Chain A
Amino acid sequence: MSNGRNGNGLLLEGTRRMGAVFLFLFKILAQCVPALGRPGLIIAQIYNAGARSLIIIMLSGLFVGMVLGLQGFELLQRFGSEEALGTAAALGLLKELGPVVTALLFAGRAGTALTSEIGLMRATDQLTAMEIMAVDPLRYVAAPRFLGGLLAMPLLAATFSLIGLFGAQLIGVQLMGVDKGAFWSQMQGSVGMSDITEGIVKSVVFGATCSLIAVHEGYNAEPTAAGVGLATTRTVVASSVLTLLLDYVLTAIFL
């Protein structure tokens, strides 16, 4: 009985929270057009969310690609088709690993930074001060950060995939001896525009999701140290789970 009540409460809270996030999305979207009139603010946020995440994305991409090269080579060797390593690595990186791992890293690096920054602005009355100065914080703070994250994610995912391919090639071709020509030509022959589109769509959707959650949690964080900490945790958890859930949905749609 009480479990039923708890279940209902959780469902209700989940629905309420989702509704709040969507309402927030509409408010931000309404402010995105005026925010576009201040490109400097958006560029600064692309730098913050994107450029500052480059090192972690490139390092992770390299190692993921190297692991992919090792595992792929080991698996394909069993069937005598090591030359397909290039195709396997490219499809895996472009369609799945690139967008998904980048989104997870983005949530952990840029998402948490966004949430805690906006949360602290709330806690230290900076957002209220803007309202009192007749400056809408949704336009000045939230919309540029949302747009910055949205634009940075596909660029980061592309970087991740490129570096990942380099890593896979490094292990497969340089270390394991897969034929270089076969590696690249098979990849070129098998990877189509639709595969690249799938990766781009996924990274845009994940970018929008992770940025929206990060900005929403920060903007609505309780203005205390514990409140900002909780909001930051929620950003990582919600962004990660939603990324994986949306990845399944999008993969099913593209298949």
Chain B
Amino acid sequence: MTKPDSLQSASPARADDVVVDVRDVHYAVNGRAIFSNLDIKVRRGRITAVMGPSGTGKTTLLRLITGQIVADKGQVVVLGSDIEQAKTSEIYALRKRMGMLFQNGALLTDISVFENVAFPVREHTDLPEPLIRRLVLTKLQAVGLRGAAQLMPTELSGGMARRVALARAIVMDPEILIYDEPFVGLDPISLGVIQRLIKQMNEALGITSVVVSHDVQELAAIADDSYLLSGGRVVASGTPSELAKSDSEVVRQFMTGAADGPVAFHYPAPDLAQQLLTDDEP
């Protein structure tokens, strides 16, 4: 097994500084290994990017961190709690300290933008209505959509829906904010808006951010630390600029977007000539 490119030049993380600690995690689905020996540390107050080609299990990693699934082996420690050992009630308590932005926004489609943002507040607190209103409008103002408060989610564009989802994710003032592919399918303006918002949330509110994406350029502009996943493990880690200068072929292929390389262009298949000459289906 090759050792991951350790490009990390920043000072080593202190134990109390690490809010998400993925230690030697193994995870398989139907016998197919998604992760083997996965190690990732997310430090408090920083933006950590997790990059990798499609199908490398980036979303699975988020499901591990949020306790939706449990690792076959290894440990996932979030805000000091071991996800595997935690009871359902503890997982739920932990989730109140996290926010997550889904790729498609995942807004509740039968209630308005305002009610979507108010949803976690109404569910978890007994705050009076005027206070909820102020809270929701403040968060919507932060994402620039206070004027869209009364719209229904179906009336929003993809970028707007993601901004509303971001307002909903921060309404409970989480310690960790997780972004699942926040840049996918956005026009350049919306993309820039989301990019700036991620940075603002981190700087202004001090929220620790985990951004899972394969958009290298966008991440490079905002990430403090980054991990590159391939083949179910971390193949490189460091600051985005360190990754850009890496000699590793996998890192170079990913950063430059080369079609073929260590990550093969062709899905494993029998020899083409042999397959064309046989009549067997398909």
Contacts and interface: CB of A to CB of B under 8 A. Distances in A.
A112 to B, nearest CB: 17
B109 A124 contact: yes
A134 B96 contact: yes
Interface in B78-110: 92-93, 95-96, 98, 100, 102-104, 106-109
Given A134-B124, A135-B120, A135-B123, A129 B100 contact: yes
Contacts of A128: 68, 102, 106
Interface in A118-133: 121, 124-126, 128-133
Interface residues of A, number: 14
A134 B68 CA distance: 11
27 contacts: A121-B109, A124-B104, A124-B106, A124-B109, A125-B104, A126-B106, A126-B108, A128-B68, A128-B102, A129-B100, A129-B106, A129-B107, A129-B108, A131-B68, A132-B66, A132-B95, A132-B98, A133-B95, A133-B120, A133-B168, A134-B95, A134-B120, A134-B123, A134-B124, A135-B119, A135-B123, A140-B123
Contacts of B106: 124-126, 128-129
A121 B110 CA distance: 10
A202 B119 CA distance: 38
B110 to A, nearest CB: 8
Contacts of B123: 133-135, 140
Contacts of B107: 126, 129
B93 A134 contact: yes
Contacts of A133: 95, 119-120, 123, 168
Nearest to A131: B68
Given A129-B100, A132-B95, 4 more contacts: A128-B106, A131-B95, A132-B98, A134-B92
Q: Top 10 A-B pairs ranked by shortest CB distance?
A: A129-B106, A125-B106, A134-B95, A134-B92, A132-B100, A133-B120, A134-B96, A135-B123, A125-B102, A126-B106
A178 to B, nearest CB: 49
Nearest to A123: B104
B102 A129 contact: yes
A126 B95 contact: no
A198 B56 CA distance: 58
B118 to A, nearest CB: 12
A120 B107 CA distance: 12
B32 to A, nearest CB: 19
B200 to A, nearest CB: 22
B43 to A, nearest CB: 22
